[in-house]
Amino acid sequence: MTNASVPKPDYRIDGFEPATELIEDNFHTVTLSDDMLQPLAEHHSADGRNTYLLLYDRAAIWDSPGTAEFVTLHITRDIKQRTFSFEHARHPVIPLAQNWLIRQGCPAESAELPKNHWPRPADALTARLEDMLRANPDGRYTVLNHSTGISGSSHFGIEVSTLVHDSHPDSAHAPYRLFLEETTEEFRSYTVREGAFPTAEAADTWVRERSTPLPLDPAPDGAVVCRAEAARARSTVTTGGLAVPSVAAVPPRSATAAPSRVHRSAP
């Protein structure tokens, strides 16, 4: 996909000035390479005060190893003063990006991706786990670490590992949850699986070693057990898989290193 075929984000700030110099500097930094920011979903409020954007950062492959690929922006405008401010965040997976936008005030339906515009969930279990992350009721999940890179499986694709702490009482026995997303080699569908661990260190060890099947919740919801067991082999032993980096231990960018990932592109 060439840059010419990818529309640039629609910020709708023509005729507006940044509210402060700091906002101006930050907005310039975030949007410096916006020809590499592919719009996936957007919403502009009817009163012209708010814009919500979900973007895929096609330049993430040249950033530090493991960098998350999805960027969200919430632009707010003062119509009378003709100024704007904004907030932004980076996310490893789309459901977490959608959750951020919804919490900022974006209508849930406007945060959805258009059909046939992006790889789709491969099965019902994937859709269910994504719904859980997207809803994240009462801030149930707190993201601790994440990493994005080339899959270690024989089927080439992109793998994203997201480690969260689950505060729900039912998860007290294994509150550290690893969500493992892996695309197919043709980038048309993907699976998400959830592992349950008693400690963050145990989750980190599993991702590095991949010597056992992904440990399922010892007492998962009965309606999901059959689907989870059938899919268990999908997340078993691989070699060279991505490790979730330790906190504050992301390796520095190498000026000569080759990109560690490939571009996703809409089918």
pLDDT in tens, 249-267: 333 333 333 334 455 655 4
Phi first, then psi, for residue 4 (nearest 5°) are -65, -25
pLDDT band at 23 (very low <50, low <70, confident <90, very high): very high
Residue 1 has pLDDT above 80, yes or no: no
Residue 184 has pLDDT above 90, yes or no: no
d(CA 60, CA 149): 10
Provide the number of structural domains found in the chain. Answer: 2
pLDDT tens string 64-96 = 889 999 999 999 999 999 999 999 999 999 999
Residue 59 has pLDDT above 80, yes or no: yes
Domain that holds residue 107: 6-116
And the tokens for 83?
């100024």
d(CA 210, CA 72): 32
pLDDT: which is higher, 152 or 232: 152
* Domain contains 257: no
C-alpha dist (Å) from residue 65 to 56, 57, 150: 17, 14, 11
* Domain contains 179: yes
Task: Tell me, yes or no, whether 112 and 222 share the same domain.
Answer: no
Task: Tell me, yes or no, whether 55 and 153 share the same domain.
Answer: no
Counted residue by residue, the chain has a size of 267
Can you state the angle between helices 124-135 and 94-104, rounded to 10 degrees? 30
Confidence (pTM): 0.81
Counting residues of the chain whose pLDDT is more than 90, the rounded percentage is: 66
Task: Tell me, yes or no, whether 100 and 150 share the same domain.
Answer: no
Task: Tell me, yes or no, whether 111 and 124 share the same domain.
Answer: no
d(CA 214, CA 234): 9
Task: Tell me, yes or no, whether 77 and 146 share the same domain.
Answer: no
